[in-house]
Chain A
Amino acid sequence: MMDTGIPTRSDPLRDESSGTALLSVKNLKKHFPVRGGLFGQKNLRVHAVDGISFDLQKGEILGLVGESGCGKSTTGRLILRLLEPTSGEIRFMNENILEADARRMRGLRREMQIIFQDPYASLNPRMTIGATLEEPLIIHRIGTREERRDRVRRLLEKVGLDPDVVNRYPHEFSGGQRQRIGVARALALNPKLIVADEPVSSLDVSIQAQVINLLEDIQEEYSLSMIFIAHDLNMVRHISDRVAVMYLGRIVERAPAPDLYRQPLHPYTEALLAAIPIPDPKTKRKRILLEGDLPSPVNLPPGCRFYSRCPKRIPDCLKADPPLVQIRPDHWAACILAQ
């Protein structure tokens, strides 16, 4: 197979020299084996994440967007090593975490936390809220029993819940309240990085804004770095400093949020933005309707992965998978037409 990795020539890690990036991901890949062929004899692989690179500064929120199957959630899990990458490099605080042993990894996990999409599935129904929030403190042997209980109460206050709920169980809370508990749990160990994987998409519209405001407050207060994974492009624009758009396991465009939404360079980003329904019947926009569905990530098409659906495709697009190159200051796109 052709090496689809991004050439470092065109994509240097921005802050390699200054070393200020909290997180640097380089040519990260995750291929899942699938059984294929009539008797499962074919050695097929799903290219879930297929050579992505980016970095995240201290206190920065990076939005990761894309449609289902683009690899955004897998990326989030790889960064925390909840999944083992196939290849690539993840540097966190200048340490390659893929080389860390289990013991070291446990230490690193204090610094990196995740908030999941489904607040119903991610809390243990048999544990009280107090026990859920205290658990990470016990595992990492933090404080005395008294100090831990005190910290749990302060965490609950921080996320806007009554500290007296410590003895209650998850089913007694609404979806929005559970997601607040999820945020409190992520904050318990004072992490430097939070991966928020679709943190509001299962919540009612009127509750989403509450949780987003909470995430912004805590991000600011603790100078947290955050990877905000979502399919809601409006929400991503709102919360992110920079945005990376993924398609079939690759980042196809990456830029500061205002630039990406104002002047998208990749035809896929353009189509995504044109497809967002706007809650104002007077806004008339040019529709860009993409043909067909996402191709299978098992049998990747040759050349540009977006070719089959791209409204602007030309024959040259089939020649090679275009690398992510910088077109404008800090605005990167993987499209030969954008160059």
Chain B
Amino acid sequence: MNPAVLSIRNLKTQFHTAEGVVRAVDGIDLTVRSGTVLGVVGESGSGKSVTALSVVAVFSQHQGKIVAGEVWFNGVDLLTLKEKEMQAIRGKRIAMIFQEPMTSLNPVFTIGNQISEMLRLHLKMNRKDARRRTIELLDLVGIPSADRRVDDYPHQLSGGMRQRVMIAMAISCNPEIVLADEPTTALDVTIQAQILVLLEELRKRLGMALVLISHDLGVIAEVAHEVAIMYAGRIVEEAATEELFAHPLHPYTQGLLASLPRFDKAGSRRERLKAIPGTVPKMTENQLGCSFTPRCGVAIPRCSREEPPLKEIRPGHRARCWVAFGET
């Protein structure tokens, strides 16, 4: 097993809103191993994006607050670092790719300027070297005629090309980890396929670890080595990808997989989809027990009284569910 590059321990991140304290991330543990892909799956409000933002300590409006936990990266707890020390790591050794490249690129600078700036800041390159390296990077991520496109502004590129620019920027300083938050969600399916292949090629070539955050179980199944399923700020299940898809243990994971229509499995007759009832819980509600209980088809009385721990049920396969533990 590859050594861990990033190890998150008991992370809790909260947001103070008018409706109360939102426990966006509520005590999670995650390990990212070097050179591998960790898939983090969850729906809106599951805490998957906030987990990534907590690692690099970026919050808008300073509303978000990490209230507990440790984020170990190469023997250093990132949460103990000063902002100045964090700046030397963020973007350089831990890079991020966001869902919407248009909002993460600055519209008034050329894409070349924006990538060169990273190289000059983090790698102290001079202007000429940075430009040459930028063109190499754009070429590497598959932008045609990179030597001309380097002077384009973000709006001159298509969505897929902008995401390639984001990827070029993310890998510019040879990071050890890339955190990619829904990197293909805004893209069309044929462009998504291109970007997923590109990420996989680059990961192998550069030997970096990738954390792929997505709501799309299909994307996760194709790319990730290990998977963590998040629900209401917690990890409810984790395992190696093949194991998790072959033997989902948590009723939420089972429900998600069962609710997806599959064109490759469709029969000639239309069957009803197996929907998960109810709605995603509001994170301000302070609930006893397992937060999936109100939507769960197999819940037992204990589920609404007591929160189950995340426990290994099959080798390397952990779930947070009393019923999966064999309780009745």
Q: Which A residues are within 8 Å of any B CB, using their own CB?
A: 67-68, 174, 176-177, 204-210, 212-213, 216, 231, 233-235, 237-239, 257-258, 261, 271-283, 287, 289-290, 292-294
User: Interface size on B (CB < 8 Å)?
Assistant: 50
Name the contact of B189 in the complex, choosing from A231, A239, A281 (C-beta under 8 A).
A231
A279 to B255, CA, bound (A): 13
Least distance between B214 CB and chain A CB atoms (Å): 9
What would be 12 A-B contacts, judged by CB atoms less than 8 Å apart?
A: A205-B216, A205-B256, A206-B43, A207-B279, A209-B261, A209-B276, A210-B276, A213-B275, A258-B268, A276-B189, A278-B222, A279-B260
CA of A274 to CA of B194 in the docked complex: distance in angstroms? 12
How far is B58's CA from A2's CA once the two chains are assembled, in angstroms?
54
Does A281 contact B241, Cβ atoms closer than 8 Å? yes
Residues of the B chain whose Cβ atoms lie less than 8 Å from the Cβ of A281: 221-222, 241-242, 245
The interface residues of chain A lying within 8 Å CB-to-CB of B270 are 216, 238-239
Besides the known contacts A276-B263, A279-B245, 9 further A-B residue pairs in the complex with CB atoms under 8 A apart: A174-B280, A177-B279, A206-B276, A206-B295, A209-B259, A209-B276, A238-B263, A279-B220, A294-B158
Q: Does B76 reach chain A (CB closer than 8 Å)?
A: no
Q: Give the top 10 A-B pairs by smallest Cβ distance, nearest first.
A: A277-B218, A238-B261, A209-B275, A67-B188, A209-B273, A279-B217, A275-B193, A209-B259, A237-B263, A204-B43
Question: When chains A and B are docked, how far (Å) is the Cα of A261 from the Cα of B264?
Answer: 8
Q: Closest residue to B215 on the A side, CB-wise?
A: A205
A205 and B260 contacting across the interface, CB-CB below 8 Å: yes
Residue in B closest to A66 when the chains form the complex, CB atoms: B188
| Contact yes or no, B160 A293, CB < 8 A | yes
Whether A206 lies near B197 (C-beta < 8 A) is no
B236 CB to closest chain A CB, in angstroms? Answer: 13
The listed residue (A257, A261, A280, A289) touching B221 by CB distance below 8 A is: A280
**A273–B144 alpha-carbon span in the complex (Å):** 26
Determine whether B190 belongs to the interface, using a CB cutoff of 8 Å to chain A: yes
B84 adjacent to chain A (CB < 8 Å): no
Q: Which residues of B contact A (CB under 8 A)?
A: 43-44, 144, 158-161, 188-194, 196-197, 215-222, 241-242, 245-246, 252, 255-257, 259-264, 266, 268, 270, 272-277, 279-280, 295
CA distance A294 to B159 in the complex (A): 11
A residues near B273, Cβ cutoff 8 Å: 209, 212-213, 238
**CA A125 – CA B256 in complex, angstroms?**
31
Residue of B nearest to A285 (CB): B264
Residue in chain A with minimal CB distance to B261: A238
CB closest chain-A residue, reference B241: A281
Bound complex: CA of A234 vs CA of B295, how far in Å?
A: 24
B188 CB contacts on chain A under 8 angstroms? 67-68, 231, 294
Docked Cα-Cα span, A280 to B224, in Å, equals 11
With contacts A280-B221, A281-B222, A290-B194 taken as known, whether A234 is within 8 angstroms of B260 at the C-beta atoms is yes
Known contacts A206-B255, A289-B197, A293-B158; decide if A275 and B264 are in contact (CB<8 Å).
Answer: no
Residue of A nearest to B295 (CB): A206
Residue from B218, B255, B295 in contact with A276 in the complex, judged by beta carbons closer than 8 Å: B218
Q: Are A277's CB and B222's CB within 8 A?
A: yes
Chain B residues with Cβ under 8 A from A207's Cβ? 275-276, 279-280
CB-based contact B257/A261 at 8 Å:
no
Contact call A238/B266, Cβ cutoff below 8 A: yes
Q: A235-B261, A293-B158 are in contact. Are A282 and B242 (CB under 8 A)?
A: yes
Would you call B43 and A233 a contact (CB within 8 A)? no
A209 touches B280 (CB 8 A): no
B189 near A233 with CB under 8 A, answer yes
Chain A residues whose CB sits within 8 angstroms of the CB of B215 once the complex forms: 204-205
Contact residues in B for A278 (Cβ distance below 8 Å): 218, 221-222, 262, 264
B259, A67: Cβ atoms closer than 8 Å: no
**Contact assessment for A205 and B275 in the assembled complex, using a CB-CB cutoff below 8 Å:** no
Contact A174 B279 (CB under 8 A): yes
Question: Is there contact, CB below 8 Å, between B279 and A277?
Answer: no
Partner pick for A67 among B43, B189, B260, B277, CB 8 A cutoff: B189
What's the least CB distance linking A1 to chain B, in Å? 25
Q: Which residues on A sit within 8 Å (CB–CB) of B161?
A: 293
Identity of the chain A residue whose Cβ is nearest the Cβ of B197 in the assembled complex: A289
Residues of A within 8 A of B221 (CB): 277-281
- Alpha-carbon distance A289/B197, docked complex (angstroms): 9
Query: Chain B residues with Cβ under 8 A from A257's Cβ?
Result: 266
Which B residues are in CB contact (< 8 Å) with A271? 190
**Complex CA–CA separation, A205 to B222 (angstroms):** 18
- Do residues A234 and B280 form an inter-chain contact, with CB atoms below 8 A? no
Residue of A nearest to B225 (CB): A281
A104 to B241, CA, bound (A): 58
Complex contacts, A206 vs chain B, CB 8 Å: 43, 252, 255-256, 259, 275-276, 280, 295
Q: How many angstroms from the CA of A295 to the CA of B321 in the assembled complex?
A: 50
Contact yes or no, B194 A210, CB < 8 A: no
The smallest beta-carbon distance between A178 and chain B, in angstroms, is 11
Closest to B244 in A: A281
Distance in Å: Cβ of A93 to nearest Cβ of chain B: 26
Q: Which residues of A contact B256 (CB under 8 A)?
A: 205-206
| B45: min CB distance to chain A, Å | 8
Q: Name the residue on B nearest A176 (C-beta).
A: B279
Q: How far, in angstroms, from A25 to B241 measured CA to CA in the complex?
A: 46
Contacts of A234 in B (CB 8 A): 260-263
B193 touches A289 (CB 8 A): yes
Contact call B193/A287, Cβ cutoff below 8 A: yes
**B189, B190, B262 — which one has the most chain A CB atoms within 10 A of its CB?**
B190
- Per the bound structure, the CA–CA distance linking A265 and B268 in Å amounts to 19
Report how far A287 CA is from B200 CA in the complex, Å. 14
A284 nearest CB neighbor, chain B only: B222
CA distance A233 to B190 in the complex (A): 12
Q: In the bound complex, what is the Cα–Cα distance between A193 and B189 (angstroms)?
A: 28
Measured between beta carbons, the chain B residues less than 8 angstroms from A67 are 188-191
